[in-house]
Amino acid sequence: MKIDNPSQLGALEAAKLIASGHLTSEVLVRSCLERIEARDREVGAWISLEADRAIAEAKIRDSESARSPLHGVPFGVKDIIDAEGYRTGMGSPIYDDSAPLLNDAACVALAKDAGMVALGKTVTTEFALRTAGKTRNPHRLTHSPGGSSSGSAAAVADFQVPLAIGTQTGGSVIRPASYCGVVGFKPTFGRIPRAGVKSVSESLDTVGVMARNVQDAAVFSAILEGTTVAEFSSSQERPRFAFARTPAWDSLSPAAQKVGRDVVEHARASGASVVEIDLPPIFRDALEAQSCIQTYEATRSLAFELRRRPDQVSKALKDYVSSGSAMKRSTYDEARNIQASCRAALWPLLNDFGALLTPAAPGEAPANPSDTGSPIANAIWTMTGAPVVGVPGLLGSTGLPVGIQVIGPSGRAAATLSHALWLSEVLGK
């Protein structure tokens, strides 16, 4: 059985072919490497690759019995996450000369233990914040892939790897997934371990994943969490969604607002119940609170780089965190109180619904690769720690992707994924 272009297979699809003997991990990895070689000069999704290492790992996987549903499948690792044999560059010249590591971050170790193959390190913005790397949007190379998980989103979108790990502190998984037209999944805060991941904000940082379909994202995330995959399906008689014009609504582009309205119409036309709701009053302060928490904590998490290596830190980063140094502790504490209140309010708000729908990005990808976009559409949900699935399927006025977020309360990831799967099937028709 000859399989053309194995790199275009979905992750679970490829793993099933490997398990059945119709494909090998080595062939899949080589196909991904060939695609990277053909496209990397234009897309620039990777900061470091060890092709021989990946092929050698794939050969070992082919000699073993399957360890997991994704045995033999390659994945990319965002370059703020440690991986054995690679340096962790974090998008900064400070670490250009650092040595290859002897250890894996916990999430990478769990993926390898499941029989997966680490293909290489994907481009990140500087310390997963604002300053862009070399990556371009594979749909239109003159446009941004988003940030900060730019390389992870672009590599998956361009069929260079079926899965990749990202991180989100504001909107760094869901927004680039939207810009690049792939599925992004930000699990409930803390579900995937952060050991071995560069910290930006202890109260917000969340490890997430990029994939080309919801099922792949769910299984990959479960493996990184070190747990079994929760059972979920799209077979629902009449899924119940809420739709909200969040505090970010007026800051979204007309294209993003139209996508929000169009998704509601698609869902209703396909049999879903969609009720437009208002968020509780406490959410009016949520965007400012998230920004306060992130800035205050980033200023301190990056103390070594900002204070000991200031000449190697970008002006954009210095300007961004300058307000964090001057912020009063009482302002930060109040922001944390708002965070706790929003988290508490989300569960009863969604108790009667399977998930909440909102646009996944401010609009289409900016026509400037250095502009990673605003996290304004995502920041509230990162702050609440809620599970969020970014679902592609619709286009903006210039033909670039604009995704939709499917949001659930903490602890209901399976229901959130189920509703996202249903919606992705509706939008994919």
* Fold held by 75-429: Amidase signature (AS) enzymes (3.90.1300)
Q: What are the residue ranges spanned by the domains of the chain?
A: 75-429
**Res. 3: pLDDT tops 90:** no
Query: Average pLDDT in the 386-409 region?
Result: 96
Distances (CA, A) of 203 to 105, 169, 277, 289, 345: 19, 9, 27, 12, 18
User: 411: pLDDT confidence band, cut at 50, 70 and 90?
Assistant: confident
Q: What is the rounded distance in angstroms from the CA atom of residue 91 to the CA atom of residue 98?
A: 13
Place of tokens 């900060």: 148
| Residue 318 CB coordination number (10 Å) | 12
User: 228: pLDDT confidence band, cut at 50, 70 and 90?
Assistant: confident
> ω before 273 within 30° of 0 (cis)?
no
Tell me the backbone φ, ψ of residue 50, rounded to 5 degrees: -125, 85
pLDDT digits (tens, 9 = 90+) for 147-172: 999 999 999 999 999 999 999 999 99
Query: Average pLDDT in the 170-186 region?
Result: 98
**Res. 237: pLDDT tops 90:** no
Task: Return mean pLDDT, the chain.
Answer: 96
Q: What is the rounded distance in angstroms from the CA atom of residue 292 to the CA atom of residue 385?
A: 16
Q: Which residues of 196-205 are buried (b: 16+ CB within 10 A; e: fewer)?
A: bbbbbbebbb
pLDDT value of residue 230: 64
Q: Is 71 left (phi over 0), alpha (psi -120 to 50) or beta?
A: beta
What lies within 8 Å, CB to CB, of 7 at 6+ separation is 28, 31, 32, 34, 35, 159, 160, 161, 162
